[in-house]
Structure 1
Amino acid sequence: MRILDKYILKKYLSTFLLILVLLLPIAIAINVSEKIDKFLRHSHLSVGEIIEDYYVNFVIIFGNTFMPLALFIAVIFFTSKLASNTEIIAIHSAKISFTRFLKPYFIGATIVTIFALVMNHFVVPRSNKVFDEFERTYLKKKKFKDDNLRNVNLQLGENDYIFFKSYSVKNNIGYDFSYEKFDGNKLTHKLMANNIRWIEKDTVFKLTNIRKRILLNNRDSIVTIRSLDTLFNFTPKDLVNVDYLAKEMNSIELSQFISKSRARGISNLNTYLVELYKRTSLPISSYILTLIAVALASRKKRGGMGVNLAIGITLMFVYVFFLKIAEVLGAGAETNALFMVWFPNLVFGSLAIYLYLKNVNS
């Protein structure tokens, strides 16, 4: 690696870290001002617990969220400074092409991308779990949205199915429950109950007013039972499609959950797919944003660094807007989650290629 490469790579990483370090205290200060009254309502909650369970994870989660913004601003900032000091002109005068000039930038982008991939797929989900649990316990009035699910059905295995006429998410109780077991197309076993309750501490289901029917070759056997504690191959989390569950699973767990849910016949898993896909698409955007930033800032402009920063921040907000729209649309049942998650990268990737070719050919 040349001295020039080391110089640019050092600037790339140090400026990126500096911008990130400057953004996080601002976010923490705003959050503290919004949450301080809620913290004070819980007299038993110590400062140590707030810092360890809330703000340590806040830094991990929002630091990861701010990475693209910090990276983009950092590259525009120090590249504009190189241009204003005529260092880039000297580099081109030394017969170093724009493509060769990009090499240390892409080495830096690779370092950031690998770090972000590890964070997104494994570290941030764990932080989300602790952070969300803290919020649900101390900062929100309700742990779960009080909804009743209607006509719930779930496939537990190749030949096992369950049905609920309704299910209360708040109370973890299902009504008019039915469990059916098939041998091919033939029903062999059916269990019905007026209600079924999830006992979390024992990880079992309690059924009441049960009618158990076994279909034999020449007759049926029907048994009535008052109550029964039993196990099923599902939990209440499998019945609801909620965003925070996806965020709290690492990518291996999330992939397994999606595969398991598909086998059970759950049709709309786009909320989970969006979460899984964006854990890769967002880190990969480091290359796109780096290329756009270098292409915009490598030429000396009238107005200097301020113009480049204004253009860059505007583009960054447009990119974030595209990301949020893509996430919302991608979670819809009728959309292709993979395409919607990668759509912002495709649009800005096209812009990056256009700016790159413009710089190469000029």
Structure 2
Amino acid sequence: MRIIDKYILTKFLSSFALVLILLLPIAIAIDISEKVDKFLRHADLSVTEIIKDYYIHFIVIFGNTFMPLALFIAVIFFTSKLSSNTEIIAIHSAKISFTRFLKPYFIGATLVTLLALGMNHFVVPSSNKIFNEFSKKYLKTKKYNQNHLTNINLQLDSNDYIYLKSYNLGTKQGQKFTYEKFEGTKLKYKLMAENIRWIEKDTVFRLNTYRKRFLLEDRDSIEQGIKLDTLLAFMPNDLVNIDDLAKEMTSIKLYDYIEQSRQRGVGNLNTYLVEFHKRTSLPISTYILTFIAVCLAAKKRRGGMGINLAIGITLMFVYVFFLKIVEVLGAGAETNAFVMVWLPNIFFGGLAVYLYFKNAKN
């Protein structure tokens, strides 16, 4: 590794660490100002517990979230500084091509990507679990009962839906159950029951005071009874907030859960798949954002660093906005979660390639 590579790589990593260290205290200060009154409501809650069970995991979760933004700002900042000091011109004058100039950036992006992959797949899920448990226990305005769920809607696949007015995960019993099957936009079958209970030894659901309705072409057929044991394409744990459940599992457990759910015939697993694929796509975006930042900042512009930062931050927020949209769309039953999650990287990857060739020609 040449001296110039060590110089750029040192600037890369130190600037990244500095921006991240500056962003986290701001986030913590804002969070404390919003939560301090809720902390004070609990006389038994010590400062040590708040730091250990909440803010340490807050730093892990939000530090991981801020990584792409911190990296993007850091690369634009120090590369713009190199450009304004005419150091990049001197590098090109030494017959170092733009491609060769990118080598230390590639090494730095690789180090950050490996860190982010480890965080996303193994560390952050554990922190999410402790962080969410603390939040449910101390920060909810009302007493939070983790076992009692209300007004549950769940899409099993593109045509099947269930609804429960309430469900208790402890007793595995629910009230006012409805199952609906559609063909396109037409309702074809509806199953209703006053209560539902999971029979674990038989792996079936027991419906009490049930009513079946078949919607035929020329008439409706209705069947009712007192008790019905039936198979349904979900399990009691599927009724938990699936977004939280997915985020609290390490990638190995999440993958096993997805495979088990597929074997049980659960149709719509896209929320889990979005979370699973996002844990890899976000770290890989480090490369894309790094190269975009270098290409934007490598040229000396009128207006200096401020213009580069303005353009860069705008692109960063477009990327985040795009990412949130595809996450929501990717959770739909009729979409390909893998394609949707990687779509922002594909789009911005194309932009990175365009900017690279534009700079390489000059």
TM (normalized to structure 2)?
A: 0.80
Pairwise CA distance, 1:169: 3.0
Unaligned runs of 5+ in 1: 155-163, 178-192, 211-233
Distance in 1 (alpha carbons) for counterparts of 2:313 and 2:136:
34
CA distance in 2, matches of 1:93, 1:209: 79
Question: 2:105 & 2:127 partners in 1: Cα distance?
Answer: 30
Match of 1:168 in 2: 166
Q: CA deviation at 1:147?
A: 2.6
Paired with 1:85 and 1:153, the residues of 2 have a C-alpha distance of 59
**What letter corresponds to residue 309 of structure 1 in structure 2?**
L
Amino acid at match of 1:79: T
Unaligned runs of 5+ in 2: 178-193, 209-233
Q: Spell out the pairing of 1:261-280 with structure 2 (5 A cutoff).
A: 261-280=261-280
Distance 1:45 1:64, change over 3 A: same
Q: Give 2:166's aligned amino acid.
A: S
Distance 2:48 2:17 in 1: 26
- The answer to which of 300-309 and 235-244 deviates more is 235-244
Q: For 1:198 and 1:80, locate their aligned partners in 2 and report how far apart those are by CA, in whole Å.
A: 64
Query: SS at 1:258's partner residue?
Result: helix
Aligned positions of 1:3-42 closer than 5 A? 3-42=3-42
Are 1:259 and 2:259 counterparts? yes
Query: What is the aligned partner in structure 2 of residue 196 from structure 1?
Result: 197
One-letter amino acid of the counterpart of residue 306, structure 1? G
User: How far apart in 1 are the matches of 2:45 and 2:312?
Assistant: 42
Q: 8 Å contact 2:247–2:275 — kept in the other structure?
A: yes
CA displacement at 1:109 relative to structure 2: 0.3
CA distance in 2, matches of 1:153, 1:67: 35
Deviation at 1:297, TM superposition (A): 0.3
Shift of 1:174: 3.4
Structure 2 vs 1, CA of residues 320 and 152 (structure 1 numbering), >3 Å: closer, same or farther?
A: closer
Residues 197, 207 of structure 2: 8 Å contact kept = no
Label 1:92 to 1:39 Cα distance change in 2 as closer, same or farther (>3 A).
Answer: same
**Alpha-carbon shift at residue 315 of structure 1 (Å):** 0.6
2:175–2:195 CA contact under 8 A, matched in 1: yes
1:77-92 → structure 2 map (5 Å cutoff): 77-92=77-92
Which whole-Å CA distance do the structure 2 matches of 1:68 and 1:323 have between them? Answer: 12
Conserved 8 A contact 2:109-2:290: yes
Opposite residue 197 of structure 2, the aligned amino acid is I
> Quick one: distance in 2 between partners of 1:41 and 1:88?
56
Task: Describe the superposition over 1:174-229 as per-residue Cα deviations: whole angstroms up to 9, x where unpaired.
Answer: 3699xxxxxxxxxxxxxxx9753799xxx9x9x9999xxxxxxxxxxxxxxxxxxx
Partners of 1:71 and 1:151 lie apart in 2 by: 38
CA distance in 1, matches of 2:287, 2:15: 16
- 1:287 is aligned to 287
What is the CA-CA distance between 1:76 and the residue it aligns to?
Answer: 0.2
Deviates more, 1:51-60 or 1:145-154: 145-154
CA contact (8 A) 2:116 2:283 kept: yes
Q: Evaluate the alpha carbon distance shift between residue 85 and residue 261 of structure 1 in structure 2; reply closer, same or farther with a 3 A threshold.
A: same
Task: From the superposition, tell whether residues 82 and 53 of structure 1 become closer, same or farther in structure 2 (CA, over 3 Å).
Answer: same
Question: In structure 1, how many angstroms separate the alpha carbons of the residues matched to 2:59 and 2:154?
Answer: 41
Q: Which residue identity is paired with 2:167?
A: V
* Amino acid aligned to 2:250: N
Structure 1 moving runs of 4+ over 2 Å: 141-154, 164-172, 174-177, 193-199, 207-210, 238-241
Cα RMSD of the aligned pairs, angstroms, is: 3.3
1:82/1:197 CA distance change after superposition, 3 Å: same
Partner-residue secondary structure (3-state), 2:44: coil
Partner of 2:187: none
Q: Residue by residue, what CA displacement relative to the aligned partner does 1:102-148 show, whole Å, maximum 9, x if unpaired? A: 00000000000001000000000000000001111111233458434
* Contact 1:195-1:208 at 8 Å conserved across structures: yes
1:147 is paired with a residue whose SS is strand
Note if contact 2:156-2:268 (Cα within 8 Å) is conserved in structure 1: no
Q: 1:153 to 1:84 in 2, by over 3 A?
A: closer
Count of residue pairs brought into register by the alignment: 317
Separation of aligned partners in 1, 2:32 and 2:273: 32
- Deviations, residues 35-56 of structure 1 (Å, cap 9, x unaligned): 1111111111111101000000
Structure 2 counterparts to residues 117-128 of structure 1, below 5 A: 117-128=117-128
Matched residue SS, 2:174: strand
Match of 2:103 in 1: 103
**In 2, are the aligned partners of 1:152 and 1:239 still within 8 Å (CA)?**
no
Aligned mates of 1:294, 1:47 — CA distance in 2:
43
Task: Confirm or deny: 8 A CA contact 2:165 2:176 kept in the other structure.
Answer: no
| Alignment match, 1:296 | 296
Residues 19 and 70 in structure 1, CA contact (< 8 A), matched pair in contact too: yes
State yes or no: 1:323 paired with 2:309.
no
Instruction: Indicate conservation of the 8 Å contact 1:165/1:174, yes or no.
Output: no
Give the residue type in structure 2 aligned to 1:168. S
Distance 1:255 1:166 in 2: 27
Q: Is the 8 A contact 1:11 1:78 kept in 2?
A: yes
* 140-149 or 294-303: bigger deviation: 140-149
Q: What corresponds to 1:147 in structure 2?
A: 150
Answer whether contact 1:241 1:269 (CA < 8 A) is retained: no
User: Are the equivalent residues in 2 in contact too, given 1:73–1:309 (CA < 8 A)?
Assistant: yes
Percent of pairs with identical residues: 68
Alignment partners' CA distance in 2, 1:274 and 1:128: 17
